[in-house]
Amino acid sequence: MEVEVLILIACLIVAVANLSMHIQKFYVESTDSTLGSGFLRFYAIPALVSDETVNLTEVEPQFLGWRDTTNPYKDWLGGDPINELTVDESLWAGKKLDAVLALDEEAITKWGIDYAVRTIERADEALIYKLGVDLKIKQVVAYESDDSIEWMNPEYRDVYAPGAPTLYEEAFELFKSYFDGTTEIIIVITGQETIDSFIAGLAPENPRLGINTMVMARFQAYWADDNMIQHELSHCLGCDDHPEEVDVWCIMAYRAELIYIDWIVEDGRWYGPYNCYVPRAYLTYDYCSECYQRLTYRYGYGSGYSVRLDPLGVVN
């Protein structure tokens, strides 16, 4: 009986190893990539009344207040966001950025690999439409994060627990070997709760493509997750945050809108009701004129020319 169990386990291991997604475990090599000193934080959505998907037929019409946050730039195939691991985008892209996607064990359990891939592809839609930039996931990596780590953001750690490890630093050390000249961006999805779980996304303050452009994110809700990823990727391309006092509609805007007992509709599904302030970055996929000019004129995205890296990894 024990032999049969061992054979069954061995077969399962082989089956998992041959998944078409081709998930790989990481390995660490020496590298010249450096973490950097500053980080840009994207805060999580405040407490919600409900985060369940609702059947519209079960909702009393007189109580409906809603806004549609569906991505207007989406490129769908058969009703689903295109999975670029198997299908190329139909829109032309002047620049392709190769990315590695990594998920810790908590993220895999909570959301799954397919959801993570499709969320990144949904976030990629506006980058292609607006900037001609296509993010290509070339590899998916599974890893186990240290469950004893209590912080995600190194800057908060430095204030409240100097010397303590952080999820971001742990992941950077594990995956920096991928910055070997073939990878521009690393996207890490963590499902591990920390003291600073009010942070949903983290990106380097001084991005250098292919050197330190690793973002870390926690998913929250279907309608907001693709916005968050687009926001973090935009940091890697050179965008800064707009502080809350700046009245602008932009994927980089912290200014919040009151969602007062309202529903949010995305891709035909209803979420809510919500009763909280939601940063505008979660509600739009557009860039303001300042960010668009920064991306197109300073860095060359959207100009029709391929963006290249100089030997130091600085965008030209």
Residue 71 exposure: Cα atoms within 13 Å on the Cβ side: 30
pTM of the entire structure? Answer: 0.78
d(CA 191, CA 217) in angstroms, rounded, equals 9
Q: Is 315 inside a domain boundary?
A: no
Could you list the residue range(s) of the whole structural domain that residue 126 is in? 21-45+79-247+290-298
C-alpha span between 52 and 186 (Å, rounded): 30
Q: What is the rounded CA–CA span in Å between residue 57 and residue 61?
A: 9
Give residues with Cβ within 8 angstroms of 40, minimum separation 6: 202, 203, 204, 205, 235, 240, 241
Q: What is the 3-state secondary structure (H, E, C) of 52-71?
A: CEECHHHCCHHHCCEEECCC
- Quick check: is 54 in a domain? no
Sequence-separated (6 or more) residues with CB below 8 Å from residue 112: none
* 196 in a structural domain: yes
CA angle 293, 294, 297 (to 5 degrees): 65
* Residue 1: per-residue pLDDT: 52
Quote the number of domains for the chain: 1
Q: Which residues of 287-308 are buried (b: 16+ CB within 10 A; e: fewer)?
A: bbeebbebbbeebbbbeeeebe
Q: Phi/psi at 265 (nearest 5 deg)?
A: -110, 130
- End-to-end alpha-carbon separation of the chain, Å? 63
Predicted confidence at residue 33, as pLDDT, reads 52
Give the type of residue at 90.
Answer: S
- Supply the CATH number for residue 223's domain: 3.40.390.10
Q: Is residue 282 part of a domain?
A: no
114 within domain boundaries? yes
**Predicted local confidence at residue 204, as pLDDT:** 92
**Residue pair 99/184 in contact by the 8 Å Cβ criterion:** yes
pLDDT averaged over 10-residue windows placed end to end, the chain, 316 residues: 48 39 33 56 61 45 71 68 54 81 97 93 89 90 96 89 93 95 96 92 92 95 95 94 95 89 85 84 94 79 43 36
